[in-house]
Amino acid sequence: MIVITTPTGAIGQQVLARVLDSGQPVRVIARDPSRLDSHVRPRVEVVEGSQDDKAVVSRAFAGAAAVFWLPPPNPKAASLEAAYVDFTRPAAEAIREQGVRRVVSVSALGRGTPLAGHAGLVTASLAMDDVLAATGAHFRALVMPSFMDNLLRQKDAIRDQGMFFSTIAAGRRAPTCATRDIAAAAARLLLDDSWSGQAEVPVLGPADLSNDEMAQILSEVLGKPVRYQQIPLDAFKARLRQNGMSEAFVQSYADMMSAKDQGLDNAAPRTPETSTPTSFRQWCEEVLKPVLSR
């Protein structure tokens, strides 16, 4: 039995589709099972409830060989510790108690760098991994740079103004990956019972790109000029506050973006194993462009 959390989320639903394709039995944790895809619903066992509820995770992990653990974004949480570490503690206890053999988490790049201790959401993700690793289960943390799919949040600005925004310097090159590649890496690990021990698995996409280079690719794929605009951290924070984010999350996003602008995402060596296939151009053609033309 393989347990998949966040089965309605961007990554989780792609992990679920891949694991179901393998024919393995699957159990999901869902707050609202009616949100599951209608083709998926009859093919999975559902444990209804929240992932931070000990009774829910205990039921879900009973007899599980492997667990896919994704901490859902909770931008209204009072602290990052609450959103990542405290949120994961009941699952860690259940992993230990139920003797789950393998755990695969969704986390972030940066461990071992001087920036990792002051990188907001990334710092919290790494602390969450420590809680999962302390269970003693065989463990792989998928560690990611910023997702290509984050640009979907700026689809209106790209379509209507021909612009996208971030706080990162226009010329700073960093890896970026597609959520489909994260899902592929997760499914591969969940379906493979030959690995053991504990390690990080970077998911770096095929190339490092700057925001200016991404703007050039966007312009070519969309057939119209798209420009990148760097914005000051204070303007970024004001925008997050307007969206109702808690002050803890606003500061944490700002700290993470500062760390990324100083090279947080550049520390993991690019090798054939850490590179993943979907290029930014391919992602723009196959994911972003269809969304913009709806």
Ligand X SMILES: NC(=O)c1ccc[n+]([C@@H]2O[C@H](COP(=O)([O-])OP(=O)(O)OC[C@H]3O[C@@H](n4cnc5c(N)ncnc54)[C@H](OP(=O)(O)O)[C@@H]3O)[C@@H](O)[C@H]2O)c1
Residues that bind ligand X (CB under 6 A): 6, 8-12, 29, 31-32, 35, 50-52, 70-73, 106, 108, 121, 125, 144, 146-147, 150
In the complex with ligand X, the residue whose CB is nearer, 15 or 100, is 15
State the minimum distance, in angstroms, from the CB of residue 82 to ligand X: 12
Beta-strand pair 2-4/66-69:
parallel
Nearest residue to ligand X, scored by beta-carbon proximity: 9
Pairing assessment for the beta strands 174-175 and 208-209 based on DSSP bridges: antiparallel
Q: Which is nearer to ligand X, 185 or 220 (CB)?
A: 185
Instruction: Show the tokens assigned to 246.
Output: 């808690």
**Nearest approach, Cβ of 224 to ligand X (angstroms)?**
25
Q: Are 289 and 221 in contact (CB under 8 A)?
A: yes
- The DSSP output letter for 216 is H
Largest Cα span, the chain: 56
Task: Supply 244's token pair.
Answer: 């109702």
Query: Smallest distance from the beta carbon of 52 to ligand X, in angstroms?
Result: 6
Least separation in angstroms between CB 179 and ligand X: 6
CB of 73 to ligand X, least distance (A): 5
Pick 150 or 161: Cβ nearer ligand X: 150
From the CA atom positions of the chain, what is the Rg in Å?
Answer: 19
Q: By the 8 A CB rule, do 257 and 234 touch?
A: no
Nearer to ligand X, 180 or 224 (CB): 180
Measured N-to-C along each axis, helices 247-261 and 121-133 cross at an angle, to the nearest 10 degrees, of: 90
Closer to ligand X at the Cβ: 10 or 223?
A: 10
